[in-house]
Amino acid sequence: MVKEAKDSSVPTTHRCLIVGNYCHDVLIKDDVVIAESLGGAASFISAVLDGLSVSSDYISKVGPDFVYSVNHRPITLSSSKTTVFHAYFSTESTRQDRILKRVTACDPVTPSDLPNSKFDFGLAVGVGGEILPETLERMIEMCKVVFVDIQALIRVFDPVDGTVNLVHLNQTGFWPLLNRIGYLKASADEAPFVDVEEARKWCCVVVTKGEDGCTVYSKDEELSIAPFPAYQVDPTGAGDSFLGGLVAGLVDGLAVPDAALLGNFFGSLTVGQIGLPKFDSRMVQKVKDEVLKRSLQHFGSHEKHEDEPKRLKPLDHEEFLAALSAAKVVPAYPIKECKWDLHSSPGALEQPACNGHRRLPLNPVCEEPIKSVDSKP
């Protein structure tokens, strides 16, 4: 008996597609390099999705100078350099005074870089301008539901020194695609550049608010989702971890409010550590068990809404909050500062090791306010 050959032209459906470049991040305080790390939203999202065993494909570009080991191999371009961000602080400054500069930029992700597959969920999570309108449009065609981190769409970069600014979404080439996006995530500082009231007519808008949790806006509903207590050490990457938790919850069939609660949970764990978070394996297993139990309990209520997750809070939402709170383990990682003189160093990425590690993990590209501009990108 001859087996019928499988038509290779028919794309296979996968779970998640994450698009966004990895970066080298350098944190500079008072002209002293105090930390370097792997950066890019994809790295934080990977930490959550991998921990929760969510199958995902990653499309990221780097140059041959990329120095980190990652679970999901990027596309290495011999003719380009890895994206590098410098974040500048001073002793007297507040978070609002941070100056973020893109020092080098890797090539953008183009539609031809994306796989010939279908996905249930797609995440457009660029940080350095690597997401193009045509790439997002192709993702919308490939994925049943697309999540977008607003920073991927509204960041612009000074042509002289690379300083990062924000422009309103309606001034970008992404605005016409708004009504085809499933979820749009923005921090409270980025939300004014979106026009939430207009955007919620077309997609679900989630605004993260740090220690105040988050708010989920749909066409007819506005829901506040409770935060988790956290001792904040480093807020960087919290929004990315939130997005990873949100998506993981929806992948497992949770209602949107429960998935957003899971996002708050992982965001709170991230702010308690420096750089890429390390999640306690026992805690992660408890969370996975709780999510599985919950998804099975609510399976029947989702059968009629497979293509549109429920956006109302389940009656037992508070029970889920209590279960996650009980599972939470806050690891005590020592915080040490490694200082290098920026002026006497030929390059931040060639600095010596600190505390026995090649890099002190810290990602300065995060949910922090950035100055706005009025011109188009």
Catalytic residues: 240
Rounded CA-CA distance 237/361 in Å is 12
- DSSP classification of residue 104: E
Strand 13-19 versus strand 118-124 pairing type:
parallel
Amino acid code (one letter) for 93: S
Bridge partners of residue 243, in order along the sequence: none
Calculate helix-pair angle for 256-271, 317-327, nearest 10 degrees. 20
Amino acid code (one letter) for 66: F
Rounded CA-CA distance 139/117 in Å is 10
Q: Is 171 exposed, middle or buried (0-12, 13-18, 19+ CB in 10 A)?
A: middle
Neighbours of 108 (CB within 10 A): 16
Q: What b/e sequence results for 316-339 when a residue is b if at least 16 CB atoms lie within 10 Å of its CB, and e otherwise? A: ebeebbebbeebbeeeeeeeeebe
Q: What is the dihedral of CA 65, 69, 70, 75, to 10 degrees?
A: 30
Rounded to 5°, the CA angle 314-256-287 comes to 80
